[in-house]
Amino acid sequence: MHINRNSVRDVSAVARWLLSLAGAGVLALAVAASSPAQSGDVQPAALSKQRAALYLQATRAPLANLESEVNRLGVMSETCRVKYGSQACGLSEKPLESDRLEDRYGYYVKQPVEAHSKGGLKIDRRKWQGASAPPQR
């Protein structure tokens, strides 16, 4: 069997091109996966705000209408748990053992919001704008 040098060079060039294309694809996927715009913000403070907003929404809408938001927040909460730990993300150390919507809402939204609010409302009168003293009763 006779192998032409030109055909070996052509195959080698094609192989290099394919490898560089695959490498560029892997790099693009890695950048997209780490992008906050793609995966949502899983920082504990951002999750806390999203939970509070969803908690308020649930007072005005049936929980069934919020299922996709509850699921999205659950995924983001678990991602936060992996990055920062359960306590930082407001989650229980015990994993959720149910797939019911009400349980998912309670675990990922209601319990963290209510635990966060147990500290009480803190009002710093020195930071009131436009007033040097609290209003009179």
pLDDT tens, residue by residue, 97-116: 999 999 999 999 999 998 87
Domain count for the chain: 2
pTM (global) more than 0.75? no
The whole-number average pLDDT for the span 15-30 is 49
Within a domain: 124: no
Q: Are residues 54 and 77 in the same domain?
A: yes
* pLDDT score recorded for residue 26: 46
What is the rounded CA–CA span in Å between residue 64 and residue 74? 15
Q: Are residues 51 and 113 in the same domain?
A: yes
* pLDDT score recorded for residue 1: 56
Q: Residue 45 pLDDT more than 80?
A: yes
All residues at 6 or more sequence positions from 42 whose CB lies less than 8 Å from its CB, including other chains: 76, 77, 79, 80, 83
Q: Are residues 93 and 53 in the same domain?
A: yes
Domain range for 65: 40-117
Within a domain: 48: yes
CB of 104 closer than 8 Å to CB of 70:
yes
Q: Are residues 49 and 107 in the same domain?
A: yes
Supply 96's token pair: 């959720």
Band of pLDDT at residue 117, cut at 50, 70 and 90: confident
